[in-house]
Amino acid sequence: MNRRHCAAAAITLVCTLTVLTAPTQAFAAPAPPPPTASPGAPKKSLEEVRKEIDALYLKAGAATDAYNLADEQTKKQSGEIVELAKAIVEGQAKIADLKSKAGAQAREQYRTGGLPPGAQLMLSDDPQMFMDGMNRVWQGQQAAKGVLGELTRTQADLEMYTKDASTNWKKLEANRIKQAKAKKQINAQIAAAKKLESQLEKEERARLLELEQEAEYRAQTAWLGSGALKEINREASERGKKAVAFATSQIGKPYVWGAEGPGSYDCSGLTSQAWAAAGRPIPRTSQEQWRQLTHIAIKDMRPGDLIIYHGDASHVGMYIGDGAIVHAPRPGRNVTLAGAGSMEILGVVRPDK
């Protein structure tokens, strides 16, 4: 049995044992009311708490994607501004040089009484000198036109560079505002989720994890029961194998929003770095991966492909074969293996096509 079959079998076995060993009353087990709850407030079951926490982390995931996209755009615009600044400096130096050349021509014309040397030679009685003078006049005129033409073009370029730099500064500031807003939303959602978990007893937190695993197992079982995996038997490409090897080697490292390694990752940080390691740079965020990469039917999926989850494309995992993915789940969890159908699948994309 190869490594992928072992991994998939292990996932199935763990999920099955979780269900078999769970107390029968667990799905309705009520959580104690939080310390701030009023005496008449209704008690929530652990399942309700789990769904509420999941919803908070989903919102945090969407905000994380918005933050990562704004961060990526900010870096790009900062780089463009640096290049434009260099072009402006070079343009200013070029204009100064061209003005110097034009000034030299004007001074020479003034020094010779308004006639360039070639024109003076035209007044000579010597036919050869006359012809040489004609040629020099023509060359002088062309040189003057060339300097003035280049000066005009360089000034136009400089104006365009300055305008582009101003536009990029505005975009940069707009994206910084987006980053700050997204960061605030992320921290608020994560703090709310952690507060809910902190109000649970140790045993309840352990049971909460079991409920998460049971929900994933039910979703995976339903997905497999639909026959989705029957036609999925394709081999990974060479780059896909490298991407899978990188992603699986990160198992056990913590999820940290906005992180892209090497010590921690968020979901799209893991997939983008895995494919970068395979020699194929891809967009940084799950939403941009969904928007820009080639869409693939689930039945045509192969290891290395990326499965995009939820209606807003706020989560991504890498398919590793046999119905399993490797992914960075959420804050408080580590990079791990999971069933490919354990979450709501939006679609599949292939980076190397």
pLDDT profile of the chain (353 residues), mean per 10: 42 36 33 45 72 80 79 75 75 72 62 52 53 52 60 70 73 74 78 80 84 89 88 89 97 94 96 97 94 95 96 94 94 93 95 90
Token pair for 92: 């200013």
- Cα(55)–Cα(221) distance, rounded to whole angstroms? 22
Paired residues of 30 in beta bridges: 45
Please give the pLDDT value at position 291. 94
Please give the pLDDT value at position 284. 93
Every domain of the chain with CATH number 3.90.1720.10 lies at 3-31+200-350
- Residues 46/207, Cβ–Cβ less than 8 Å: yes
Please give the pLDDT value at position 347. 96
Q: At what angle do helices 267-277 and 238-248 cross, to 10 degrees?
A: 130
Paired residues of 338 in beta bridges: 325
Please give the pLDDT value at position 12. 40
- Residues 287/312, Cβ–Cβ less than 8 Å: yes
Every domain of the chain with CATH number 1.10.287 lies at 65-188
DSSP secondary structure of 84-134: HHHHHHHHHHHHHHHHHHHHHHHHHHHHTTT--HHHHHHTSS-HHHHHHHH
SS3 state of residue 142: helix
Q: Which CATH class is domain 65-188?
A: mainly alpha
- The pTM is what? 0.60
Please give the pLDDT value at position 173. 75
**Radius of gyration of the chain from its Cα atoms, rounded to whole angstroms:** 33
**From edge to edge, which strands make up the β-sheet containing 324-327?**
294-296, 345-350, 306-309, 315-321, 324-327, 336-339
The beta strands (E) that lie in the chain are given as 294-296, 306-309, 315-321, 324-327, 336-339, 345-350
Residue carrying the six token digits 């639909």: 226
Q: Which CATH class is domain 3-31+200-350?
A: alpha beta
Please give the pLDDT value at position 13. 33
Angle at 325 between CA 320 and CA 326, to 5 degrees: 95
- Cα(269)–Cα(206) distance, rounded to whole angstroms? 28
Would you please indicate which residues are annotated as catalytic (active-site) residues?
A: 267, 315, 327
* Residue 299 C-beta-side C-alpha neighbours within 13 Å: 4
Token pair for 34: 């939080």
Q: Report, in this order, helix, strand and coil percent for the chain, each rounded to 5.
A: 65, 10, 25
- Cα(174)–Cα(149) distance, rounded to whole angstroms? 38
Q: Which of 323, 212, 314 is nearest to 267 (CA)?
A: 314
